[in-house]
A and B are shown apart, each in its own frame.
Chain A
């Protein structure tokens, strides 16, 4: 792995949905490191849960993905991230209105 660069790992025979999911992570990284480098520190403070929630909300807004795929991501967020943090489980409707800027601090 080249140091200082993020790396996406995908299995061969990967689905379009999975690639789209990882591309959303990559897009946020690019935006907050390359396009707006002053946001690097902000990015480093974003918790993993919020990264996953960001991806799900973005994919939901695209309106082209199957409910099965979206629900799998939702389940992962609820079980792996929200539950350990003591947060309520959420539905897909919640992520339709979800905004990244409500979840992050400016510095």
Chain B
């Protein structure tokens, strides 16, 4: 459908999928490229409108303008451009609402159209080579992969090195001279992380220079990350009592969190720079199908952060308090490295981290774009698998305890255990933290349960109902 409005002619294109509209918008269009301009019946602009909202990145509303139109408005002074485009935006929105009443719910206000005009002029100026400085900047952006981003490298550079938590490598570089100095180092590290995230946020804000990137949502997410980093310092204070023995554990936790945050940053860079795939196709064309999954993932991360912002740090605190001293000993490495691995594993075992890891590893092309993050995941996973193999490959204390019980009660063949035996077994199992309830029709307390069990899926009447876990 074509409508003439104030002598500029436009076409409206709608779709429920915002990513499709972005692709259409980026394509070269000979029809409007060859338009003769003002007071000519040719189509001068194409409006792209997403019919439903596009997650939290905002609804897609884009305008493709003819070369003649861009030259006309792009060449105006700042003030004239602001005024003329403002008027044009208002007229366009009014016209859209009039000619497409069925889409009124989706048609935005005129300030959105104004912004779309500004983006288009900036964007097409690059595409037409009208602005060499922007052109150069864009080319350098397009050539980058996620791992090239200096700010992510700087974040990773904050990680503790092995000699800093393991005195056997180089005692001079070992950071734990005393509990207090260890605490200072850890807090300094947490403060540096906060500072780094703040710097990245400021960097993101400057990226608004590039057209097509809606960073408001991402920047608000960074505000949450900043709060998270601030709370990390509080957590470190709480863990002070463990520093003497658990310094490498806490270093592992800090490094794990840095890697996790760096991984999220990489995901964000893939998402926000995707629409800038103009001249350089290599960067994103292979991840088109996986893009939506990344957006979903980021959505999920943000939702979880909003739902329970303290969950990650609370989980870490609980894990440190409950498990690290009881942890299976890895005899292949020294105690410092062993404890450091515990810290990294504690981070990996957090639900949110696992969610990110599972999605990223499931997206083959994305994984290739995030080599450092996936390498970290692979290393931690490999250790985890090795740990499981070590635990399950040979009889453990638990196996011995249960074997002893089994031998004591001569659990063999089809014989029926006596009630007395079951009572003794109950005492033995209770010592191991497991309850045993004998369900009998003769007992008033369990008669009703007995009936359920006997009438259930156990026609022979002497089979078990089940093993109930926590």
Contact = CB atoms under 8 A, between A and B. Distances in A.
A22 interface: yes
Contacts, number: 189
A17 interface: yes
A35 B399 CA distance: 10
Contact of B392 (A13, A22, A101): A101
Interface string A91-103: 0000000011100
B144 interface: no
A87 interface: no
B391 interface: yes
A5 to B, nearest CB: 5
B467 A107 contact: no
Given A1-B468, A104-B388, A37 B435 contact: no
B437 A8 contact: yes
Interface string A1-42: 110111111111111111111110111011101111111011
Contact of A1 (B422, B435, B442): B435
A9 B396 contact: no
B306 interface: no
A106 B387 contact: yes
Interface of A: 1-2, 4-23, 25-27, 29-31, 33-39, 41-42, 64, 66, 69, 99-101, 104-107
A15 B462 CA distance: 7
A93 to B, nearest CB: 21
A14 B327 contact: no
Residue among A6, A18, A107 with most chain B CB within 10 A: A107
Residue among B328, B433, B465 with most chain A CB within 10 A: B433
B434 A29 contact: yes
B345 A19 contact: no
A10 B435 CA distance: 11
Contacts of B397: 35
Given A38-B327, A101-B385, A21 B464 contact: yes
A41 B410 CA distance: 33
Contacts of B419: 12
B435 A34 contact: no
A22 B414 contact: no
B349 interface: yes
Nearest to A25: B467
A105 B453 CA distance: 34
Interface in B380-399: 380-381, 383-385, 387-389, 391-392, 396-399
- 3 shortest interchain CB distances as A-B pairs: A106-B384, A25-B467, A12-B440
Given A12-B438, A23-B406, A25-B467, 12 more contacts: A5-B434, A7-B434, A9-B467, A10-B465, A14-B422, A18-B463, A22-B464, A23-B402, A34-B433, A36-B328, A106-B381, A107-B384
A100 B392 CA distance: 8
Given A8-B434, A15-B462, A107 B406 contact: no
Contacts of B441: 12
Given A30-B402, A37-B323, A38-B345, A12 B468 contact: no
Nearest to B382: A106
Contacts of B384: 105-107
Contacts of B412: 16, 64
A30 B438 contact: no
B434 A11 contact: no
B444 interface: no
A6 B469 CA distance: 4
Given A9-B439, A15-B462, A16-B415, A106 B323 contact: no
Contacts of B102: none
